[in-house]
A = this chain, B = another copy of it.
């Protein structure tokens, strides 16, 4: 029977955790990160406002899970871009483009990823997901297997940090409307300027 896959409304949802994450994603995509509300998320998932607590403990817990998931997909995007390029500079540029593309396409999620007032940055899952993303960037900008760790102040980190800063800054400026606030302005700026901007980095 396809019944239990479709319309039958049962007391137990079955995949509520995933459904809540999707609903939350939709809420922030529509209303912005600041417009998030746990009750609205529950409403969209068709569930009582108390239900999310069962899976995430609190609103912060849900957002932390969503941010972790976002970081994972972000890492995937960087990895995929990396695999398409060959030279060191080529890898770095491909990743830089993917970085900015992700930020523009998944705007709200990208902002959430860095919103420490709303998530728990000490969550192990979050930590692991965000650290991984940096290591992918790092390995491209220093060429081959990553060695140092994100938190270190080793001067050997400078190239990676410079690369990271450049693309991160460009993405945020674009999101914040520095290149115009009209519809599509950020995307146009990225297309027109990003390649030239990336060329200003010496590795």
Contacts and interface: CB of A to CB of B under 8 A. Distances in A.
B151 A180 contact: yes
Q: Which residue among A34, A164, A200, A202 has the maximum number of chain B CB atoms within 10 Å of its CB? A: A200
A203 interface: yes
A80 interface: no
Contacts of A151: 179-180, 185
A14 interface: no
Interface in A164-203: 164-173, 176-181, 185, 188-189, 192-193, 196-197, 199-203
Nearest to A201: B200
B201 A158 contact: no
Number of identical protomers:
2
Nearest to A196: B158
Interface stretch (A1-9, A17-25, A46-54, A114-122): A114-122
A179 B170 CA distance: 19
A193 B150 contact: no
A89 interface: no
A61 interface: no
A165 B161 contact: no
Contacts of A116: 176-177
Given A176-B114, A181-B121, A165 B159 contact: no
